[in-house]
Amino acid sequence: MKKPSISVFVLTMMNLATILSIKNWPFAAEFGFSSLFFILLAVLTFFIPSALVSAELATGWPQQGGIFVWVKEALGNRMGFLAVWLLWVENVVWYPTILSFIAGTMAYAIDPALSESNLFTFFTILIVFWGVTLLNFKGIRFSGFISTLGVILGTLIPGALIVILGLSWMYGSRPMEIEMNWASFFPSIAHPYQLVFLAGVILGFAGIEMNAVHANDVENPQKSYPLAILVSVVLIVFFTSFGTLSIAMVIPQSKINLVAGSVAAIDYFLSAYNLKGYIPLVSVLISFGALAGLSTWIAGPSKGLLTAAQSGDLPPILRTVNKHGMPVGMLILQGIIVTILALVFLIMPNVNSSFWMMTAMVSQLYLLMYLLLFISAIILRYNRPDVFRAFTVPGKKWGMWFVSGIGIVSSIFCIVFGFFPPTQIETGDIVRYELIQVIGIVTFCLAPFVILWFKKPSWNT
């Protein structure tokens, strides 16, 4: 039977579904015109380094497993398992944030006041997540189709609408909420707590390595993977920059809603142009785009962790796959964990604080994985020079040190500032905030080592 394969176009759409999210734009919009400075900084110090390193590793080791295979080759099985575990578990923590965005966006199609309701958000998370999980049982071809359709209808079209309306707003002599000049381009950080939002901006560019787990499903991965990454980077940077700027120009900083900020911006735009009746339609489209991204993320990391399970690092029940090759046991497990994590929306002061709490923890866990990624890329240049890479980071070994070094520094910076609660968001008691962060991160990081400690010989059969 011929193996299913995906084209460069579909892989590019999956990359866009993974990273390009209208949900992320309100984060950067908090900085006004200086958001472009932070976006540029995030692109140069994190996005491009992770894209270059991922392209080299994916074309050198294109077999299924992605980050698990790469880190295992460089640092051994335990660190490989830790890396793929972090990728999987940070997604499990992240799912409630993207789902809360979907809930907030859907609320605009029903009643905008519902976007502030913790109860509405909680139940929407459960219904949507389990629904998308069941759809993923149909396999990677179906997931790729949903990603492609969702990116076009739910991200590129609404994103282009935001950009076009933003440009129309700017050149239509309408009131601007930000100053756009050379002085306002550079941020003035009066308090270190404000730097925590930079971690949110960087996190918005994370995930370029994730679709490497589908390397076996790609036609000619040595050539198509780097090409898909190049096209993805250009489109992601363009839409993120101009989309963020459009939101910053229109909505006052104090009124930016991290959960439904992009829909609020479109609401503001369309109301000003007497087109308010189209808001429910746009809300539905954006929700569909977010669902496409969710579908891609649900499939990718689970298949990566499946590789670890098949190598004997997890109980046999978690390596169960259906006829479409989807890890059913893994998908059900993460669904149970997401259901438990969604309870944070019932105990935090408001939806915004719950959203940020989840985002900060996701950032910490994900950046720890990126540290392992960049370190492994350097080590493999020395330990496995014999492996052919169709794409290599320019500059030989010094180039790899430079690119990975920048990625390591930016990751460490964001990990440190990720423990600071932002001043712009009510996060409740500072002790509770820090305890949830520290306990959550330590627990999730120790979990894979505890699993390996109790590993049984029967897992290898």
List of residues 6+ apart from 143 with CB closer than 8 A: 14, 136, 295, 296, 299
Q: What percent of the chain has pLDDT over 70?
A: 80
How would DSSP label each residue in 211-257? GGGGGGGBSSHHHHHHHHHHHHHHHHHHHHHHHHHHHHHHS-GGG--
Task: Tell me what the pLDDT averaged over the chain comes to.
Answer: 78
What pLDDT score was predicted for residue 31? 75
**Cα-only R_g, the chain:** 21
pLDDT mean over 300-317: 75
What pLDDT score was predicted for residue 2? 44
- Asked if residue 63 lies in contact with residue 425, where contact means CB atoms within 8 angstroms, the answer is no
**Cβ-based burial of 18 (10 A; exposed 0-12, middle 13-18, buried ≥19):** buried
- 3-class DSSP state of 408: helix
Instruction: Look at residue 281 and tell me whether its pLDDT is greater than 90.
Output: no
Please write the tens of the pLDDT for every residue from 233-244: 888 889 888 888
What pLDDT score was predicted for residue 308? 75
| pTM passes above 0.85 | no
Q: How far is CA 232 from CA 26, 404, 406, in A?
A: 21, 20, 21
Which stretch, 236-245, 400-409, 436-445, has highest mean pLDDT?
400-409
What pLDDT score was predicted for residue 69? 87
**Comparing 371 with 89, which gets the higher pLDDT?**
371
The identity of residue 220, as a single letter, is N
- 3-class DSSP state of 286: helix
- Asked if residue 258 lies in contact with residue 38, where contact means CB atoms within 8 angstroms, the answer is no
What pLDDT score was predicted for residue 130? 87
Instruction: Look at residue 1 and tell me whether its pLDDT is greater than 50.
Output: no
* E strand or H helix at 375: helix 351-383
What pLDDT score was predicted for residue 427? 58
pLDDT mean over 339-358: 67
Q: What percent of the chain has pLDDT over 90?
A: 9
Q: How far is CA 416 from CA 177, 236, 371, 409, in A?
A: 31, 26, 13, 11
CB environment 67-98: b (16+ within 10 A), e (fewer): bbbbbbbbbeeebbbbbbbbbbbbbbbbbbbb
What pLDDT score was predicted for residue 300? 66
Instruction: Look at residue 260 and tell me whether its pLDDT is greater than 70.
Output: no
pLDDT mean over 31-50: 85
Residue 99: pLDDT band by 50, 70, 90 thresholds?
confident
Q: What residue segments make up the domains of the chain, in order of their start?
A: 8-460
- Asked if residue 338 lies in contact with residue 125, where contact means CB atoms within 8 angstroms, the answer is yes
Q: Which fold has domain 8-460?
A: Amino acid/polyamine transporter I (1.20.1740)
**Comparing 160 with 307, which gets the higher pLDDT?**
160
pLDDT mean over 309-314: 76
Write the Ramachandran bin of 296: left for phi over 0, alpha for psi from -120 to 50, otherwise beta: alpha
What pLDDT score was predicted for residue 407? 93
- Asked if residue 307 lies in contact with residue 301, where contact means CB atoms within 8 angstroms, the answer is no
List of residues 6+ apart from 267 with CB closer than 8 A: 108, 112, 276, 279
Task: Compute the distance between CA of residue 299 and CA of residue 123 in angstroms, rounded to an integer.
Answer: 22
Please write the tens of the pLDDT for every residue from 194-211: 566 666 677 778 877 776
Instruction: Look at residue 402 and tell me whether its pLDDT is greater than 90.
Output: yes
